Structure 1
Amino acid sequence: KSHFDDVPLKPQRVYEEMNTELDRDTCYVTTIGLSQIAGAQFLHVYNPRNWINCGQAGPLGWTLPAALGVRVALPDKKIVALSGDYDFQFMIEELAVGAQHKLPYLHIVVNNSYLGLIRQAQRGFEMDFEVSLAFENINTSDDGDALPGYGVDHVAVAEGLGCKAIRVKSPNEFKHAFAKAHELMEEHRVPVVLEFILERVTNIAMGTEIDGVNEFEDILCLDPDLSLETPVDLDPVSESAIAQ
């Protein structure tokens, strides 16, 4: 299931909106973490070499400079980078390179203010510790754009590095934010950051085997006769059927 109206946002809804608002020929660049795992599950990728990934090496910070490299290599392509908050912070200063050399691309930042994959991987061991990035930023307020308790103001930092940035806190803001981001890229020819403020804890489906994936969120089931507890036997397709 991906259609949630929660505030703060659920990441599934962000990916659903990306599928709606971004072109079929979009080239995605991403690295590691729950953002990348969920993106691989929810985002629609239609063409070869439109999912540029670090090969599971796990180098946090890879996404931003990689997106700049893909932008240079494919100047006519629509490039969209996907980062969690810490992957984005790791090499955030490289935004200035994109601004200086006029390398426009869209950088989606899904911000829950901690390292979610580190926490979720402990569930099987009955632990729930996190590497937190949250702190009370004295420059934020309850009635301001940046939310208290989420730490770094990514919008302020991105704009301080010569780029444009938009923060999204509600599903009602999605369509305007994507439209504005494309407008800013066309006008200024610099990277544009689109930050989505997520709920603090979301557990993303994962498992050690393809037939043993654990689901932690609500499942959208269109057939009431189907059940996660009842395996469905699929008849193999015969060679004659393939030939036809």
Structure 2
Amino acid sequence: MERPDRPHVVVYNEASIDGRVVGFDTDPSRYYRLGFRWRSDAILMGSTTALAFGPPESDTDQQRILLRPERLPVVPGFESLVTEPRPLLVVPDSRGAVRCWTQALSQPWYRDVVVLVTRHTPTDYLRYLDRRGIEHVDATGPASGRVDLAAGLAHLAGSHGVRDVRTDGGGALTGALLAAGLVDEIVVLLDPVVSSDPDGQRLVTLPHAGPPGGIRLRLDDVERFDDGALLLRYATATDRAPTG
């Protein structure tokens, strides 16, 4: 049964067999090709991941309206995978840390940006977003300073018609979504490697202790690759049918 209050959310990531998302070599082309199997109206990305787009814009650029690309190119080899319109890039950023939106939109994957903030987000950051013409949504949660992801997803559904969301972030974002009961599927590209970083970011980092016995998942599909990698597709405890 469909729930109209929020989009269908697919968590997608690549991990080592010890559950890390860093500390090993990857094949980015394969990872992103597989990700296109799940049609997405929006890509939900954590602020830490978004910071990797590049350094902050120059002081001059921070005063200017953010230019949206008039025509997004298609990366060679992805012609049959890309659908229009391209997804929104949605970033929860209650701290006001991300100021590299020019670099983000230089990527051929996103048509525009929406930033989820709270009433505790620094005022100068909100003014910066206004100057740049970047939509920001007050999604203040019950926890002081934290973005209410459910409210943010509801806004995307109601104001932008977003029905399907895929994540592109780390363990903290995945953990927050799981803890809030907002995940419908978890898709993991499991590489046959042990991470070289024993303290590296994990696939899932819950914000607080979960239920006794853990959060149960249902394995829906397994795909094996020649190098020994596995694509594992799990469903969470939900009455919503998988898509994609």
Q: TM-score by structure 1 length?
A: 0.35
Highest CA radius of gyration, 1 or 2? 1
Structure-2-length-normalised TM-score: 0.35
